[in-house]
Amino acid sequence: MQLDPEDERILAGEEGETRQKLLELLVALGKVFGAERLVPIKSAQVSGASYKTIGKYGLEWLNSLDAKAVVPAVLNPIGMARTRWEEMGIDPDFAAKQQAVVAAYERLGIRLDCTCTPYYLYETRYGDHLAWSESSAVCYANSVIGARTNREGGPSALAAAIIGKTPCYGLHLGKNRLPQMVIDVHADTAKWTIADYGALGYHAGKIVGNRIPYFRGITPGADSLKAIGAAMAATGAVALYHVEGVTPEAQKNRYDLSGIEAVPVEQAEITRLFSDIPVDAVALGCPHCSPAELQEIARLLVGNIVTKPLYVFAAQGVIDKNARIVDNIEKSGARVFADTCMVVSPVMEQYGSVMVNSGKALAYVPNMCGGKARIGTLEDCIRVATE
């Protein structure tokens, strides 16, 4: 692997033991995957932020490190809202341990936003190289923005944040970003909502697995693209997809699709995912809400009071910039939490069934929270929460 003089200095320990060890980790990873060099990154998103995931030994490892991130970096969602954990009914002992993990990352120069939507917090552009961890964020960055990131593990994303580089392999290389199958959607998508696109992602992920799909027959907007990718990364292992005429690389390139497997998806396959099972609570914001989604939730809640628990999740930076909208949502009795989500927080475990407008949450709530999940449009979710 080709290293520049600065890398050699770091590897020789001239910039401290932490930077030395973390660069060794990146070089070892690069060698495993055949990377020829390291590539500078614009930002990192670090998983392994929940105490539930990393535990005592992970925390000890973080505390043993002594260096600072050299690029903007945020954390993945954790098990609780950092400032409103009591309101979520979180156990004080768990909260103290979680705060210790967050403090350890803060000492390493990681921004304390804990979110799967870092693209709302710092500018991410076409062609940027990144080291992001969370599967929906990775899929959005690669597909919707046209940036380049592999799906990093927590230690490799942290190492990349501190070194400012990542091994250049996988989706960092243009030759690995070509479509590998076609999904032809036959449906009246003009009427589709974000939830329909989430359901499409839920269905398509099972067909696609870990290949790179190329969609035809859909024209989703940014939030719908977010929903497709998140769901495909959950039911499959999709880290990049293209949509004809919509996503940036599909607009820029003319792909040769001859000889590639093409699978049709019919409206009925999407419709059957929507049910009307009774629910105990409603949860929105998987992935974390965009400003436009918060605005739409607030609009639908005007004049309404919730009769069922309604949780909304978004990045702290997005909440802060949309404080009036968030206040309006909370006037209905709904709660808008940062730093955590319906899947990683234990808060949803108390409900037997949860309504969501996300294909990813439809896949994960039953597995991770133990209850049933029902997908519906945002309008239906608000109606059910307030009827």
Helices (H) and strands (E) in the chain, counts: 15, 15
Nearer to ligand F3S, 71 or 312 (CB): 312
* Cβ-based nearer residue to ligand F3S, 30 or 287: 287
| In the complex, least distance from residue 58 CB atom to ligand F3S, rounded to whole angstroms | 18
* Least distance (Å) between residue 368 CB and ligand F3S: 8
**Least Å from the CB of residue 305 to ligand F3S:** 25
Please give the residue ranges that form the binding site for ligand F3S (CB under 6 A): 77, 116, 134, 136, 230, 286-288, 313, 341, 343-344, 360, 364
In the Cβ-directed half-sphere of 109, how many Cα atoms lie within 13 Å? 17
Phi/psi at 277 (5° precision): -65, 145
Instruction: Indicate the length of the chain as a whole number.
Output: 387
Q: How far is the CB of 334 from ligand F3S (least distance, A)?
A: 16
Closer CB to ligand F3S, residue 43 or residue 133? 133
Whether 142 contacts 162, CB under 8 Å: no
- CA within 13 Å, CB half, 298: 19
Minimum distance of ligand F3S from residue 91's CB (angstroms) = 20
Q: Compare residues 19 and 360 and give the one whose CB is closer to ligand F3S.
A: 360
Rounded least distance, CB 357 to ligand F3S, Å: 12
Question: For ligand F3S, which is the closer residue by CB, 214 or 313?
Answer: 313
The CA distance from 243 to 340, in Å, is 30
Q: CA neighbours within 13 Å on the CB side: how many for 333?
A: 13
| H helix runs in 209-307, sequence order | 222-235, 248-252, 267-271, 291-301
d(CA 192, CA 369): 28
Our CB check for ligand F3S shows the closer of 3 and 88 to be 88
